[in-house]
Amino acid sequence: MSELTQEYWKEFNKKQALLREKVTQDPWRLTYHQMPETGWLNDPNGVVQFQGTYHLYHQYAPVNPEGGLVHWGHKTSDDLVHFEEHDIFLSPDQMYNKDGAYSGSAIVKDDDIHFFYTGNVKNPGEHDYTFSGREQNTVHMVSKDGFSVDEREVVIHHGEYPEGFTDHIRDPKVFEKEGTYYMILGARALDHRGKILLYTSKDLYDWTYQGIFAEAADETMGYMWECPDFFETSEKDVLIFSPQGIQATKPFVYQNVYQSGYYLGQVDYEEGQFIPENEFQELDYGFDFYAPQTFEDENGRRILWAWMGIGDTAPEYSNPTVHRGWQHALTMPRELTVENNELKQRPLPEYQALRQNETQETLTIDKQAKFPVAHQDAFELLLDVSEMTAPFSITLKEDTKLSYDGEVFRMQHGLSGYGRSTRGIAIEDITLIHIFADTSSLEIFLNDGSYVMTSRVYPKENREDILFEGQGTLSFTRWDLIKE
């Protein structure tokens, strides 16, 4: 039965047309990041390369910049830099997903893309929607082209999940290993520990529960693990997830309301368990990063996209674009590798195509130096700071100060942070700082992808100078990033 009436779509189109007008006037619209055409965006979904084309789907509430009923938006690209916007791919138009087509993933088999997602249902009545009242069904869809859906059915009904869980079981991620398909699902267990469930299938249609793939060792590791993601590398297996309910126990860890991070380890396929071999590591130390998803492209690269935003932050900080008809975006795609037991995240080389007006300088700094730039909306700045003596700092984008004191790298926002203040990373030595700025975002890669910090910033006008303070010699290369 279809829940979305003609009336719904009529109202929808009307509201979206109004938002479209607002959005086009906003100078904070990003230039080389993926955003909602209008309204709200959250998690990346179903990312896949299929017959050469990259398909990027995402959680999308197009008519309300503050969220609401989620659909899947859809964009495609041939080069991961230039994207085309398409019609909504998936809508909450069936009883089994009537309160949201929640997050999910994609896998290619033969000539089809198979999608798995969570159909969210809220039953009427007196409920808290955690312990009662919510259903989260796992839905399977088959598509021949990534645009239309040929088959769609629930493969795991909410009532079929094992005992011991709250109503929160969602975000299927499917991968294949030696002819068997594995599905992992994020869950909130009744014992207040986040867990990841494992199902297997031989054909992507019939799924059998195998047990717990991974779980929080105790309550300190969170009550809910959202958006699990998994991949193998030649060195280690990698399990990514977004835990909720972790408290910060020391400075400069777990600084946001929720986290996103990973374990390196090994899967024991006999037992169906992921065995972590390190402490949980955060993927990003900035204000705006959540619910990452990875996929392998046709060149064998492992690429990650994340929501460049996070939920439940108010009143700590805000996103002023809400009043301009939209909210949130995705990070740049990043390539992931494991090298000597370390997960590295690097910007994709494809983005070098945007570079224009290169300037290279080596500055010997005694106290301070200014570097004037005509245009600071979107740029890339690669700094070699190995000859700088801590403390030193770089102020850019009006009032964001990046500093290193020998122990902690900090990003401090001024007014343009709209309530975002400081984030830090405890780090022994910094040699390279690689900055990607867009009209209203900053992504900072440290030491060739060992650490990343991502935040939205909303400068009134992009200031004309970059200010360096400290002592030593600094070389840098700067490019405007211009998408044509």
Q: How many CA atoms lie within 13 A of 339 on its CB side?
A: 9
Quick note: the x/- pattern for ligand FRU over 237-276, rule CB under 6 A, is ----------------------------------------
Among the listed residues 99, 167, 171, 284, the single contact to ligand FRU using CB under 6 A: 171
Give which of 342, 333, 315 is closest to 448, Cα–Cα.
342
CB of 122 to ligand FRU, least distance (A): 12
Give every CB contact of residue 14 below 8 A, 6+ residues apart in sequence.
Answer: none
Among the listed residues 38, 49, 59, 441, the single contact to ligand FRU using CB under 6 A: 59
Question: What three-state secondary structure class fits 278?
Answer: coil
If one asks whether residue 43 binds ligand FRU (CB under 6 A), the answer comes out as yes
Taking the CA atoms of residue 420, residue 421, residue 427 and residue 433 in that order, the dihedral angle to the nearest 10 degrees is 70
CB of 260 to ligand FRU, least distance (A): 10
Nearer CB in complex with ligand FRU: 238/291: 291
Is 43 in the active site? yes
* Contact positions with ligand FRU (CB under 6 A) in 103-142: 103, 118
Quick note: the x/- pattern for ligand FRU over 348-387, rule CB under 6 A, is ----------------------------------------
Among the listed residues 135, 167, 215, 226, the single contact to ligand FRU using CB under 6 A: 226
How far is it, in rounded angstroms, from Cα 478 to Cα 402? 16
Residue 257 Rama label (left phi>0; alpha psi -120 to 50; beta): alpha
Nearer CB in complex with ligand FRU: 54/241: 241
Nearer CB in complex with ligand FRU: 155/291: 291
CB of 240 to ligand FRU, least distance (A): 13
If one asks whether residue 37 binds ligand FRU (CB under 6 A), the answer comes out as no
Give which of 294, 325, 330 is closest to 456, Cα–Cα.
330
With 0-12 / 13-18 / 19 or more C-beta atoms within 10 angstroms meaning exposed / middle / buried, residue 179 is: exposed
Q: How many CA atoms lie within 13 A of 440 on its CB side?
A: 26
Instruction: Say which amino acid occupies 272.
Output: G
Cis bond upstream, residue 391 (ω within 30):
yes
The H-or-E segment that residue 369 falls in is: strand 355-372
Among the listed residues 55, 134, 170, 413, the single contact to ligand FRU using CB under 6 A: 170
* DSSP category for residue 353: G
Q: Out of 43, 167, 284, 377, which one is annotated catalytic?
A: 43
CB of 407 to ligand FRU, least distance (A): 32
How far is it, in rounded angstroms, from Cα 51 to Cα 110? 11
CB of 344 to ligand FRU, least distance (A): 25
Sites of contact with ligand FRU (CB under 6 A): 42-43, 59, 70, 102-103, 118, 170-171, 226-227, 290-291, 311
List residues with catalytic annotation: 43
